[in-house]
Amino acid sequence: MSTTKTDVVIIGGGVMGASIALELSRHGRKVVVIDKGGAAGAGSTSASSAIIRFTYSNFNTILMAWENAQHWFNWNQFVGIEDPDGMAKYIQTGYLVFLTEGYDGLRQRELWDEFGIPYEVLSPEEVKKRWPAFETGKFYPPKAIEDPAFADDPYDQLSALFDPLSGFMDDPMLAAHNLAHAAKHHGAEFLFHKEVTEIIRDGDVVSGVVLKTGERFEAPIVINAAGPHAAAINRMAGVYDEMKVHHRPLRQEVFSPPAPKGFRLEDNAPVVADLDLGQYFRPHMGDLLNVGTTEPACDPLHFLDDADNWNDSVSVEFFERVMLRLARRLPDFGIPHKLLGIGALYDVTDDWIPLYDKSSLPGFFMACGTSGNQFKNAPLVGKFMRTLIEAQEQGIDHDITPVEVMGEFTGMPINLSAFSRLRTQADTAGNVMG
């Protein structure tokens, strides 16, 4: 069987692997990306709601989202190479988060002030004035439809935090394709329909990977960007057990029903985080909505042992639950008669914060645990991984002396220890909000 030597092997050609490939190939490294799927971004990236927002829970996570947003705002410039298949586009809608139990937005506002992120606090009347399609009543806590209290009238009114600059990327898979195309321009190679089945070592350091076909790729650096399969890859490398934060695949369903009048893109409808009812939604092209959930306590979580063995269709019960909840917030929403949506997988960590880190196996790095909220941070993940690799090459142990990446826009440093596999504490919403 053939053996290929290269500088870096990246396992996974989703938005993360493609972004890392672009950054490393731009900086002169010879990169091979290996993906068992058929195209860049065809894995969980293709199912992404691709929302770009800045509402995280702490300094590093909000700063990271804000710095990354600048690259989505100027996507063509960030990618640097025009993709003949078209470029993904940023759709600016603004982002509205209802203020309810457990979410007062105060910490966000403090940090948004510090970073210069514009926002407004809107009274229920102001929300209704701008978007009459909303019911601004308070229903908290989110409930299952079997709960007799599900149909209760609202008992209070909700204010909201609105930032005008958030939005979404129109096509997340195309964004990954754009990154891969640019990385190829800089010399990276992408191999599809090839599955990594073994991580190899030379003594105490990583030395490459072996594929199902028996082919070997030898490299002093191997990066795990395998999305929902990343925990299996970390186990393969023998580094999973040392981690203090673990991660595993979580099955999700997202829906795409028609948007009611007053809540389409042409109506200037915003992206909405509605923790009051346990949902998020946004307008989508074609007069559709994109609807997902925020893991409210009443919804069971479906963690999987095997990211290759799951059902990718939506279930009737969950569809009904999510659609009826949506109708509480958008009273003119007409519940569709057929199931419109898909099943998909997140790679969720214990605290819903990602893992951008080295490991105890020198040369083996990870960009995973993206917890349903890291599409927006893909542009800078390449730089994070390059910084971690260069630190290791300079003999700096990031576990002991954490490395930082300077935010080019704010001039403030993002401390990568926030994404360490060894962290024991993190300020986090504990759900997809991160």
Ligand X SMILES: Cc1cc2nc3c(=O)[nH]c(=O)nc-3n(C[C@H](O)[C@H](O)[C@H](O)COP(=O)(O)OP(=O)(O)OC[C@H]3O[C@@H](n4cnc5c(N)ncnc54)[C@H](O)[C@@H]3O)c2cc1C
- Please, which residue, 152 or 308, has the CB nearer to ligand X? 308
Both tokens of 160, joined, read 């909201």
Query: Does 54 help bind ligand X (rule: CB under 6 A)?
Result: no
* C-alpha–C-alpha distance, residues 295 and 429, integer Å: 11
Sole binder of ligand X in the list 21, 51, 180, 245 (CB under 6 A): 51
* C-alpha–C-alpha distance, residues 45 and 176, integer Å: 8
* Ranges within 363-422 binding ligand X (CB under 6 A): 370, 372-376
Among 271, 49, 280, which Cα is nearest to 175's? 49
Sole binder of ligand X in the list 31, 111, 160, 254 (CB under 6 A): 254
Query: Does 44 help bind ligand X (rule: CB under 6 A)?
Result: yes
Sole binder of ligand X in the list 34, 175, 179, 273 (CB under 6 A): 34
Query: Does 55 help bind ligand X (rule: CB under 6 A)?
Result: no
Query: Does 14 help bind ligand X (rule: CB under 6 A)?
Result: yes
Q: Give the DSSP letter string of 55-93.
A: --SSHHHHHHHHHHHHHHHTHHHHH-S--TT----EEE-
* C-alpha–C-alpha distance, residues 305 and 164, integer Å: 40
What's the closest the beta carbon of residue 110 comes to ligand X, in angstroms? Answer: 22
- Please, which residue, 370 or 387, has the CB nearer to ligand X? 370
Sole binder of ligand X in the list 252, 293, 349, 431 (CB under 6 A): 252
Rounded to an integer, what is the distance from CA 234 to the centroid of its chain?
19
Please tell me what DSSP assigns to residue 103: B
The angle formed by the CA atoms of residues 407, 42 and 8, to the nearest 5 degrees, is 55
Query: Does 196 help bind ligand X (rule: CB under 6 A)?
Result: yes
Assess contact for 280 and 273: CB atoms under 8 A: yes
Sole binder of ligand X in the list 105, 142, 227, 382 (CB under 6 A): 227
What's the closest the beta carbon of residue 278 comes to ligand X, in angstroms? Answer: 15
Query: Does 16 help bind ligand X (rule: CB under 6 A)?
Result: yes
Query: Does 15 help bind ligand X (rule: CB under 6 A)?
Result: yes
Assess contact for 398 and 417: CB atoms under 8 A: yes
Query: Does 13 help bind ligand X (rule: CB under 6 A)?
Result: yes
The angle formed by the CA atoms of residues 294, 300 and 301, to the nearest 5 degrees, is 70
Sole binder of ligand X in the list 22, 42, 188, 243 (CB under 6 A): 42
Query: Does 166 help bind ligand X (rule: CB under 6 A)?
Result: no
Sole binder of ligand X in the list 170, 189, 195, 399 (CB under 6 A): 195
Q: Which span (55-63, 84-92, 316-324, 343-351) binds ligand X, by CB under 6 A?
A: 343-351
Q: Rounded to 10 degrees, what is the CA torsion of 188, 194, 200, 205? A: 30
- Please, which residue, 156 or 198, has the CB nearer to ligand X? 198
Sole binder of ligand X in the list 8, 11, 31, 326 (CB under 6 A): 11
Q: Which span (46-54, 114-122, 315-323, 406-414) binds ligand X, by CB under 6 A?
A: 46-54
User: Would you tell me how many other CB atoms lie within 10 Å of the CB of residue 32?
Assistant: 21
Give just the sign of the alpha carbon dihedral 227, 366, 76, 72: positive
Binding site for ligand X (CB under 6 A): 11-17, 34-37, 41-45, 47-51, 195-196, 225-229, 252, 254, 292, 344-346, 370, 372-376
